[in-house]
Amino acid sequence: MLSRKENELLTRVGPGAPMGELMRRYWIPAAFSHQIEKPDGPPVRVKLLGEKLVVFRDTQGRVGLIDERCPHRTASMYFGRNEDCGLRCVYHGWKFDIHGDCTDLPSEPPGSTLQRKVKITAYPCLERGGVVWTYMGPKELQPEFPDLEWTRLPASHRHVTRHIQECNWLQGFEGGFDTSHLSFLHGGTADHSVSTVPSRYEVVGTDFGFIAGTGRDLPGGEINWTANVMLMPFHKIIASQPAGAHVWVPMDDENTMLYSVDFHPTRPLSEEELRRSKDFRGIHTQNIPGTDHAIANKNNDYLIDRDLQASGDSYTGMKGLGVQDCGIQESMGPIADRTIEHLGVSDTAIIKIRRLLLQTLKDHAEGKPLPGLDPASWRVRSARFKTPEGTPFADSMDAHVRVDRPAAAE
């Protein structure tokens, strides 16, 4: 279990919180590009790391992400007029460009010098993989955008959705790397004996984050490994066919925007693969139209079907992997109390992951180099492979997860 102090360190993400400051050192998904498709179109609300923001596309097609509060009287810029390369507050007409500079101050008298002194908080943005990404950290430390494979692929090679999880980011993140639950939460009532659960758990720190390996002993002295990749600070690349990815983006301490991705690095997704995604049989969740909120949610008990659960066709009675994960993770409360847990051998990976995250927070506080800031370090894929008994996981994993060069840019 974690101490209360450690749990606070890992879960609090607002301005000034250690984990929030660490996350601000990386590029963060803010919105889908299609949400602000047209220049001078309506702005869209965004909440990231406890900050209320708005994103918009200006007259020249550039993307801006600024504080929702106008620095004049704190009125919401969401209601602003997007015109002539800037967003204009409708309260008194103050206008700001994508860099946060005030470009017009019509309510002030001629000769006023206030315009030169006024700025609105603004964060740099770029677009990759149909997503608007932003950097919220110190300007002098801004890294290049990483070689994240699914963002460099043609649109035909990927399928991306998102929905809001009403709980802290760490609950989703830990669930993503908790492999022993796969035989239970996502299964039927088939055999859940020890033989169906991994017998080996490894978590190895890397220059991009870590690799979580789970191994099952095979007849003949081999080990069947699954290696899932974690990229700092909240990405997972899933060892599946086609490949998958999750990004657990904290909106605040108690809400998370979960981006879910199916992708193939070398070909378009097939009709059957897309059908499975769009039928919500995999990691994706069906939302209430026009929102980021799932249809199956805590207010309707995730549409649990007790007859289905009793039939043996579903261990939970909840339909869809995404709904199952979300339902259980939200059931832990807005922020899980890890001081009352009782962890077992199957939680070995979770324990190691927490230690790595706490060490990374300590390294950041001490000004030490952070993993994942070199774009080339992200040239990795999750993998499944076999090794002879006695071969250390750490000695074999690199040969299977490293990619020599990034996928061709879209």
**Are residue 80 and residue 156 in the same domain, yes or no?**
no
CATH code of the domain covering residue 172: 3.90.380.10
Give the chain's domain count: 2
Helix axes 4-11, 169-176, angle to 10 degrees: 90
**Are residue 345 and residue 206 in the same domain, yes or no?**
yes
The pLDDT-based confidence of 26 (bands split at 50, 70, 90) is very high
The average pLDDT across 90-116 equals 95
Say if 211 falls within a structural domain.
yes
CB atoms within 10 A of CB 191: 10
The average pLDDT across 52-71 equals 98
- pLDDT tens digit string along 116-132? 999 999 999 999 999 99
For residue 34, the enclosing domain spans: 27-141
**Are residue 38 and residue 59 in the same domain, yes or no?**
yes
CA-nearest of 238, 233, 240, 231 to 378 is: 231
Greater confidence (328 vs 184) lies with 328
**Are residue 169 and residue 195 in the same domain, yes or no?**
yes
Q: Kindly report whether the peptide bond that precedes residue 242 is cis, defined as omega within 30 degrees of 0.
A: yes
**Are residue 71 and residue 160 in the same domain, yes or no?**
no
> Which pTM does this prediction carry?
0.94
Say if 20 falls within a structural domain.
no
**Are residue 122 and residue 168 in the same domain, yes or no?**
no
Angstrom CA distances, 230 to 138, 336, 357, stand at: 24, 21, 11
Say if 14 falls within a structural domain.
no
pLDDT at 197 over 80: no
In this prediction, residue 233 carries a pLDDT of 97
**Are residue 181 and residue 104 in the same domain, yes or no?**
no
**Are residue 203 and residue 302 in the same domain, yes or no?**
yes
Per DSSP, the three-state class of 287 is strand
Say if 344 falls within a structural domain.
yes
In this prediction, residue 349 carries a pLDDT of 85
- pLDDT tens digit string along 144-178? 999 999 999 999 999 999 999 999 999 999 999 98
**Are residue 166 and residue 236 in the same domain, yes or no?**
yes
Q: Which helix (H) or strand (E) holds 277?
A: helix 271-278
Q: Which residues pair with 384 in a beta bridge?
A: 226
- Rounded to whole angstroms, how far apart are CA atoms 168 and 172? 7
Which stretches within 41-161 are classed as H helix?
A: 114-117, 149-152
- Rounded to whole angstroms, how far apart are CA atoms 306 and 127? 43
Say if 410 falls within a structural domain.
no
Tokens of 148: 């994240």
- Which of 119, 141, 163 marks a domain boundary? 141
Say if 58 falls within a structural domain.
yes
- Which of 141, 159, 177 marks a domain boundary? 141
Annotate 97-134 with b (16+ C-beta within 10 A) or e (fewer). bbebebeebeebeeeeeeeeebebebbbbebbbebbbb
CATH code of the domain covering residue 117: 2.102.10.10
- Rounded to whole angstroms, how far apart are CA atoms 282 and 186? 10
In this prediction, residue 190 carries a pLDDT of 42
**Are residue 307 and residue 369 in the same domain, yes or no?**
yes
**Are residue 374 and residue 234 in the same domain, yes or no?**
yes
Say if 4 falls within a structural domain.
no
**Are residue 109 and residue 230 in the same domain, yes or no?**
no
- Which of 111, 141, 171 marks a domain boundary? 141
Say if 226 falls within a structural domain.
yes
- pLDDT tens digit string along 267-290? 999 999 999 999 988 899 999 999
Q: Which residues pair with 230 in a beta bridge?
A: 210, 236
CA-nearest of 57, 58, 91, 50 to 74 is: 91
